[in-house]
Amino acid sequence: MTVKYTVPGLSTDQVNELIGSLQGRLSAYNDLHLTLKHVHWNVVGPHFIAVHEMIDPQVELVRGYADDVAERIATLGGSPKGTPGSVIADRTWEDYSIGRDTAIAHLGALDLVYNGVVEDNRKAIELAGELDPVTEDLIIGQTAELEKFQWFVRAHLEDIGGRLSTGGASSEAAASDAARVEG
Ligand SMILES: [Fe+2]
């Protein structure tokens, strides 16, 4: 899709590249807020209520980020794709793999989920930094809050020496298993 108009001061070529990057973030956020609800519903065990309740404000935040990114795409002259099929089409990662499981297993897997989202956000920040500081500002603010939530997740996985039980895990299943052993 190519835009027919855009905001003053940017070229349509620049904006087409920017929109490609923003569409990736939109699908990542739509995937993330659904995945967070899946955790909210599937967490079990003695730490159920802490994790169940920790998740919901983050769902609201990430849903708002999806809305803000979609509206930025529209503002730039593009058409945001928000259907379930577009989330799957844009996805460069696997579906969340943990079902009913303990708080610590889900938190271990969520640490990996946030690694992926934040790494891709930083690539989007880099591109936006070259093309459009307004978009850059939007993604920077969102990324700071996502990183803060990842700290909430990691605080459950960290020992008093500052080591993460999930350190070095390269899959959600491996991170869950590592968190379970330490937790
Ligand atoms: Fe709920």
Q: What is d(CA 73, CA 70) in angstroms, rounded to the nearest whole number?
A: 5
One DSSP character per residue, 60-94 reads: HHHHHHHHHHHHHHHHTT-----SHHHHHHH--SP
Q: Residue 16 Cα, ligand 1 centroid: separation in angstroms?
A: 38
pLDDT given at position 180: 86
CB 124 within 8 A of CB 25: yes
Q: Residue 40 Cα, ligand 1 centroid: separation in angstroms?
A: 7
Q: Which two tokens stand for residue 144?
A: 């700071």
Q: pLDDT by residue for the chain (183 residues), tens digit each?
A: 689 999 999 999 999 999 999 999 999 999 999 999 999 999 999 999 999 999 999 999 999 999 999 999 999 999 999 999 999 999 999 999 999 999 999 999 999 999 999 999 999 999 999 999 999 999 999 999 999 999 999 999 999 999 999 988 888 999 999 998 866
Q: Looking at the domain that runs over 12-182, which CATH code has it been given?
A: 1.20.1260.10
CB 22 within 8 A of CB 81: no
CB 164 within 8 A of CB 157: yes
pLDDT given at position 1: 65
Q: Which two tokens stand for residue 146?
A: 């996502």
b/e map 57-86, b = 16+ CB within 10 Å: ebbebbbebbebbbebbeebbbebbbeeee
Q: Residue 23 Cα, ligand 1 centroid: separation in angstroms?
A: 28
Q: Residue 61 Cα, ligand 1 centroid: separation in angstroms?
A: 15
pLDDT given at position 167: 85
